[in-house]
Amino acid sequence: VVGLVGYIGPLVRALAGRAKELLVFERNQSRPEVLPDWAVELELPRCDVVFITGTAFANNTVDRLVALSRGRVAVIGPSTPMWPGLLERGVDWLFGARVLEPSRALTAIAEAGGTRALYRSGLVKVALGRDVDH
């Protein structure tokens, strides 16, 4: 069972055909197959892998989400803090971004370009992880 906290369309589409069961949690439900964010309390503990968007840091829910997770945990997206200390606090992987051209990234943000525009502006994907034996 795979859990995704925060709706990311491309990731939902990629996981939908691969996961035995995919549970997507979102505060602003816009699709009937998406569970409300409060459902993490009931459903997250049964997930084998949990993907949490970096937004969980902004809305101060990351600690609770990690505590509820019994399987592997990945924090994903360009807002993910790439701090190695998170790997000692229940997070297995960090998948974030590095800004190569700050002025272009700021322009993309100012123009409300979204994640794709940010990556086109010069962000590169980066990853940190720790060894896990399961």
Q: What does the pLDDT look like over 51-74, one tens digit per residue?
A: 999 999 999 999 999 999 999 999
Question: Which pLDDT score is estimated for 14?
Answer: 93
Q: Alpha-carbon distance 109 to 59, whole Å?
A: 19
Do 3 and 35 touch, CB atoms closer than 8 A? no
Model confidence band, residue 126 (pLDDT cutoffs 50, 70, 90): very high
What the chain holds in terms of domains, given with CATH numbers, is 2-96 (3.40.50.11590)
Strand partners, 93: 74, 129
What tokens appear for 120 in the block? 């086109």
Model confidence band, residue 134 (pLDDT cutoffs 50, 70, 90): very low
Of 114 and 88, the structure prediction assigns the larger pLDDT to: 88
What tokens appear for 7 in the block? 């709706």
Question: Which pLDDT score is estimated for 130?
Answer: 80
Q: What is the dihedral of CA 2, 15, 5, 38, to 10 degrees?
A: -60
As a residue count, the chain comes to 134
Question: Which pLDDT score is estimated for 122?
Answer: 85
